[in-house]
Structure 1
Amino acid sequence: MTKNRWVVLIGFFLFAAALFYIFSYSSQETTASQHKIESISDTGYAFGNETAPVKIVEFSNFECPSCQKSHQEIKEALKQAIDSGAVYYIFKHTSLDQFTKSPLVSERVASLEDDETKPEVMDQIFQEQQSWSKLNEKELIEYLEEMNLTQAVDLEEERATIQEETKELNVSGTPTIFVNDKKVQGALTEKAFKKLLQSSLE
């Protein structure tokens, strides 16, 4: 093979590798588009002042690794925004076929009536996701009972409402977050979340 043909082949492979990198990177970026948040119900776990200038609705799943990653990134900034009265936040636990343990977890979390305790429990569940997601049903129940989550709530009607909303709003996966009329798909970094929040407050 001549030197020129080697150069052409190497150039082709480098070009292909560059395209693959660009495609892979862009597929991980969050995307935002305009949607009407007024059409989204308050079904789910709600925190903050309903009259806050910014309404955030998150479609998430306790067993979803990307949701866990996003939660860890934005939780402090989100809590500060809720506590300051700037944000009304609704967490919608979204059923997904690949996550078989999370329905039981969500039923137990829904039994908590104390809005101050619930965020702490949700945070612990996300933090310990890799551990409890490997448990069998008996072990998972024991784990939840150790967290004093001994009661379960029938969420059939709530799941149906959230499932219908995912169809209407083209929510194809979790996490998907609506900040006022902006829809963001994929895990958010703290920096991206703060920027999105600030633009919604302006």
Structure 2
Amino acid sequence: MQSNPQTSETPPQSHRRYGWFKVILLIMLIGLLSFAIYFVNLTKNIGEQLADGTYDLSTFAVDGQSHIEGSESAVISVADTHVVNFANDPAIGPLNAPITIVAFEDFQCPYCEAAFPAVKALLNKHGDKVRFIYRDFPISALHPDAQLAAEAGACANEQGQFWPYHDRLYQNQDHLSVDDLKRYATELNLEVDLFNDCLDTGKYSSEVQEDLQDGIDAGVTGTPTFFINGNVVSGVINEQGFDQIVEYFGN
């Protein structure tokens, strides 16, 4: 009896399709790994150069504009609406500070966690010279808990407790489940029922996404990204690097 040609050909076709799937998956993984290595080297380079004074701060424009090499259109100004649309975002420091830093961050991003101690030191040492604004940029494809953590931060901000809550999240970055987020609210003596209702209803979901879109429109491609008097720096800045920036802008 003659076998069905389709039946006899199905296994090879299936194997070929599976083989192509593995090739595509491998290419995607290699691309992701290459990007991760590039970003690690980039952030390390920026941190080291700022720390040892070899980063050319003269390329920073005091008037609030920075020209990104290779693109005439990529001029980021502190007046750029995508950057300064932060009326509802958490801010700390005097309104008339000589330095305004708008940070796009992701609570689950390891590079943001690495920058966290330096940001704390910056605000402790130079809080009279710096206005620091936090904006959300959750990269959900890599950090599945980032969106909800950002919403939780907004719920804490609603009660005037964003910065203690912000610190707690970065200090416990591996524990950002819904239960964890609610437990931190309890530990920080927030009004728990109000916080839980805010988080459960997704009250600030769209606002977090607006931050994300503003960041994308302003050219943000990764976290952390800092706009320092309009000048963009992508990657981790260490404590010495921030000291250099304050010395440059704060006098």
Give TM-score, length-normalised by structure 2.
Answer: 0.60
Paired residue for 2:111, among 42, 63, 66?
66
Please give the alpha-carbon distance, in whole angstroms, between the structure 2 residues aligned to 1:68 and 1:177. Answer: 14
Largest Rg, 1 or 2? 2
Judging changes above 3 Å, is the alpha-carbon distance between structure 1 residues 183 and 44 closer, same or farther for their aligned structure 2 residues?
same
Task: Name the structure 2 match of 1:118.
Answer: 162
Identity between Structure 1 and Structure 2 (%) = 23
Judging changes above 3 Å, is the alpha-carbon distance between structure 1 residues 25 and 174 closer, same or farther for their aligned structure 2 residues?
closer
> 1:108: Cα distance to partner?
2.3
Task: Name the structure 2 match of 1:79.
Answer: 124
Please give the alpha-carbon distance, in whole angstroms, between the structure 1 residues aligned to 2:250 and 2:187. Answer: 40
> 1:73: Cα distance to partner?
2.3
Gaps of 5+ in 1: 1-22
Judging changes above 3 Å, is the alpha-carbon distance between structure 1 residues 155 and 26 closer, same or farther for their aligned structure 2 residues?
closer
Q: Give the partner amino acid of 1:190.
A: E
Task: Name the structure 2 match of 1:36.
Answer: 77
Please give the alpha-carbon distance, in whole angstroms, between the structure 2 residues aligned to 1:48 and 1:183. Answer: 20
Q: How many aligned residue pairs are there? A: 176
Q: 1:73-114: per-residue Cα shift (whole Å, max 9, x none)? A: 2312223322x2x11110012121221212222222222345
Task: Name the structure 2 match of 1:91.
Answer: 134
Please give the alpha-carbon distance, in whole angstroms, between the structure 2 residues aligned to 1:59 and 1:90. Answer: 9
- Over the residues paired in the alignment, what is the CA RMSD in angstroms? 2.9
Please give the alpha-carbon distance, in whole angstroms, between the structure 2 residues aligned to 1:155 and 1:191. Answer: 35
Task: Name the structure 1 match of 2:233.
Answer: 184
Gaps of 5+ in 2: 1-38, 47-54, 61-65, 67-75
Q: Given the alignment of the two structures, is residue 53 of structure 1 paired with residue 98 of structure 2, yes or no? A: yes
Please give the alpha-carbon distance, in whole angstroms, between the structure 1 residues aligned to 2:97 and 2:246. Answer: 12
Please give the alpha-carbon distance, in whole angstroms, between the structure 2 residues aligned to 1:66 and 1:73. Answer: 12
Does structure 2 retain, via aligned residues, the 8 Å contact 1:47–1:89?
yes
Does structure 2 retain, via aligned residues, the 8 Å contact 1:70–1:188?
yes
SS in 2 for 1:129: coil
Give 1:18-29 correspondences, 5 Å limit: 25=41, 28-29=44-45
Q: Give the partner amino acid of 1:157.
A: S
> 1:25: Cα distance to partner?
4.3
Give 1:92-171 correspondences, 5 Å limit: 92-97=135-140, 98-112=142-156, 113=158, 115=160, 117-130=161-174, 132-133=175-176, 136-138=177-179, 141-142=182-183, 144-148=185-189, 150=192, 151=195, 152=198, 154-171=203-220
SS in 2 for 1:76: helix
